[in-house]
Amino acid sequence: MAAADSSSIGTDPGRVRVPILGTGIDAIAFDQALERLAFWAAHRQSRVVCVCNAHSVVTATEDLAFKRALDSSDLATADGAPVAWLMRRLGHSGQRRVSGPDLMLAYCERASGTSQSVFLLGGTSATLAGLQNELLRRFPRLNIAGAHSPPFRTLTSEEDDHLVEMINLSGASTVWVGLGCPKQELWMAAHRGRVQSVMIGVGAAFEFFGGSRRRAPRWMQASGLEWLHRLINEPRRLWRRYLITNTAFIFGAARQLMRQSTPNPH
């Protein structure tokens, strides 16, 4: 993919969204996504960034509110290897994964020692403490403006107002949201314009870096087998997501590719 033009990063005039099972995913390289995120963060823009895997796009075919959240996002990246693969088959030959955990680390490294700061939202108190320790171990000059572990129940309107105020008063450039899918995407969509920061939903990244789950080895990530590593380690929790949902993705992808290859009679 071509390098990003710095004059277009904030306005996105050349944005290309590819319909994946009906949900638009951005055709964008990792470095371009990072540049766009950093530009928005530098200007304290209220933006929504979603990282999408096969589970995300299949869920969007069944949940209209979730689909609207993804479609209305300012950036939706191909977090999963199957999504990136389908985008390549649909003509975007240079598309590779732009995963949430990798994007989080790359941004924190870039922001370290600058005026840009991060707010961490989600996870248990223990996971959140582990995440902060790990980020500061890797990036000692990183400015963590705040962190909050919300209750698992729905917040009251007063609690929600307090959370928004907490984030905005922290001055955070970015809010990394680890509430899990689809809760984090719905939360970000509902808070665009209220939270004066770039919001990025990164799901399991909190558990990976917070120490409560082990991420797949790099070779499995590069081979598109990260899902298998997670399934082996958490079969009872993830079997439905990875066996049933991935099967639904395969059938949906096959239908989409067949429709594209079928000549239009008109």
**Do 77 and 171 belong to one domain?**
yes
Tokens, residue 28: 């964008």
Residue 171 lies in a domain: yes
Confidence of residue 237 (pLDDT cuts 50, 70, 90): low
Q: What is the pLDDT of residue 13?
A: 65
Model confidence at 177: pLDDT above 80: yes
pLDDT at 5: 35
**Is 107:120 a contact under the CB 8 Å cutoff?**
no
Range of the domain at 229: 220-253
Q: Is residue 8 part of a domain?
A: no
Examine the pLDDT at 233 and tell me if it is beyond 50. Answer: yes
Find, among 264, 265, 257, 230, the residue nearest to 245 by Cα: 230
Confidence of residue 244 (pLDDT cuts 50, 70, 90): confident
Over residues 71-116, the pLDDT tens digits come to 999 999 999 889 999 999 999 999 999 999 999 999 999 999 899 9
Task: Return the SS3 of 28.
Answer: coil
The Cα–Cα gap between 134 and 115 comes to 20
Name the E strands within the chain: 17-20, 23-26, 47-52, 75-78, 117-122, 143-148, 174-178, 198-201
The per-residue pLDDT for 73 is: 98
Query: DSSP letters of 106-141?
Result: HHHHHHTTSS-EEEEEES-HHHHHHHHHHHHHH-TT
Question: How confident is residue 204, by pLDDT bands cut at 50, 70 and 90?
Answer: confident
Is residue 240 assigned to a domain? yes
162, 187: one domain? yes
152 and 237 housed in the same domain: no
The pLDDT value given to residue 241? 66
Instruction: Find out whether 122 and 212 touch, Cβ atoms under 8 Å.
Output: no
Tokens representing 96 are: 């590779």
Backbone angles phi, psi at 163, to 5 degrees: -65, -45
- Residue 121 inside a domain? The answer is yes
Is residue 204 assigned to a domain? Answer: yes
How sure is the predictor about 260, in pLDDT bands with cuts at 50, 70 and 90? confident
The structural domain count of the chain equals 2
The residue ranges of DSSP E strands in 14-122, in sequence order, are 17-20, 23-26, 47-52, 75-78, 117-122
Mean pLDDT of 36-46: 97
Closest CA to 175 of 122, 101, 97, 114: 122
133 and 59 fall within a common domain: yes
Claim to verify: residue 88 and residue 187 sit in the same structural domain: yes
Query: Domain check: are 96 and 141 in the same one?
Result: yes
- Range with the poorest average pLDDT among 23-32, 38-47, 235-244: 235-244
Which of these three, 213, 229, 244, is where a domain ends? 213
Residues 77 and 123 grouped into a single domain: yes
Give a yes or no: residue 170 inside a domain: yes
In a domain, 115, yes or no: yes
Residues 142 and 243 in one domain: no
Same domain, 85 and 112: yes
Residue 168: pLDDT above 70?
A: yes
147 domain-assigned: yes
